[in-house]
């Protein structure tokens, strides 16, 4: 059975590319292009992991993370960002994110993190 992943990012091209790559590697994906839409999709779906951008058009990724953890305290969220900042990375991990990856994304790195999360 494939793992179901929700990708939340306001960059539609990144969502589409990541979705296609993960689908080719055995994952089932859905995308949302705003934080509120991602939260709604998560509440309606049964996702094994969420990949969420830290800076979204309608809200910050940390707000999405808090909301998702309210729905499910055990949700695994991989936070991605174009802004490399140690303080933010530490804050996101303390808030319960599974991992933190800086853009530009390296597909094999994302795949490695997803496979690691599936084993836990």
pLDDT digits (tens, 9 = 90+) for 73-97: 999 999 998 877 888 888 899 999 9
55-58: which pairs have CB atoms within 8 A and are 24 or more residues apart? 55/81, 55/82, 55/83, 56/8, 56/9, 56/10, 57/10, 57/33, 58/10, 58/34
Answer yes or no: is 79 within a domain.
yes
Answer yes or no: is 56 within a domain.
yes
Domain that holds residue 53: 4-107
Answer yes or no: is 54 within a domain.
yes
Q: Whole-model pTM?
A: 0.94
List the structure tokens of 117.
């999360």
Answer yes or no: is 119 within a domain.
no
Answer yes or no: is 12 within a domain.
yes
Answer yes or no: is 118 within a domain.
no
The tens digit of pLDDT for each residue in 1-38 reads 569 999 999 999 999 999 999 999 999 999 999 999 99
Answer yes or no: is 115 within a domain.
no
Number of domains in the chain: 1
For residue 8, the domain's CATH number is 3.40.50.2300
Answer yes or no: is 36 within a domain.
yes
């Amino acid at each position: 059975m494939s793992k179901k992943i929700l990708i939340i990012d306001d960059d539609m091209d990144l969502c589409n590319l990541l979705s296609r790559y993960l689908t080719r590697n055995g994952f089932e994906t859905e995308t949302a292009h705003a934080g509120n839409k991602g939260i709604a999709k998560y509440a309606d779906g049964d996702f094994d992991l969420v990949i969420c951008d830290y800076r979204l058009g309608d809200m910050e990724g940390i707000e999405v993370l808090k909301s998702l953890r309210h729905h499910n305290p055990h949700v695994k969220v991989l936070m991605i960002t174009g802004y490399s900042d140690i303080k933010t990375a530490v804050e996101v991990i303390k808030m319960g994110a599974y991992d933190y990856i800086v853009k530009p994304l390296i597909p094999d790195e994302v795949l490695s993190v997803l496979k690691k999360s599936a084993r836990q």
